[in-house]
Amino acid sequence: MNTIVASFAATVGHAAAAIPYRTDSAVPRGALVWAVLVTLVVLGAIVGGLLLARRYGWLRLWTGGSRIVTQGTAIWRVTARVRLSATARAYVLENKESSYLVIESSQYLAVQQQPRATGEKHAREG
């Protein structure tokens, strides 16, 4: 058993030098900067396109936002929208004949018909 340990120790003592670590980078610096720059430009274009699509209402089909609802000949429009709390929102819906205040929450829904005031009457009252 001593001969095995002695022969192993002799072999280790005469072992070749270790392989040195790589000193240069695997990816050249210019290529890395170029890849990061292209990634940032593409990401910026995607975010900008999504913001533009949101502004013009092109995403409403996928996001479930409010749309113009056609019921017979009446066209309902959301003219005002207010977030009252984390779960409650208030909307003003109008068509040619009437206006409604709709308050929705996760637990209730309230609808109240609003009187239609012309612009001049409303300005005098306020």
Q: How far apart, in whole angstroms, are the C-alpha atoms of residue 54 and residue 51? A: 5
DSSP calls for 33-69: HHHHHHHHHHHHHHHHHHHHHHHTTTTHHHHT----E
Specify the DSSP class assigned to residue 20. P
Domain range for 79: 73-125
Comparing 13-17, 32-36, 42-46, 65-69, which segment has the lowest mean pLDDT? Answer: 65-69
The yes-or-no verdict on residue 42 having pLDDT over 90 is yes
Asked if residue 68 belongs to a domain, the reply is no
Q: Is 57 left (phi over 0), alpha (psi -120 to 50) or beta?
A: left
Mean pLDDT of 9-15: 60
Q: What pTM, to 2 d.p., does this model score?
A: 0.38
Same domain, 34 and 56: yes
Asked if residue 38 belongs to a domain, the reply is yes
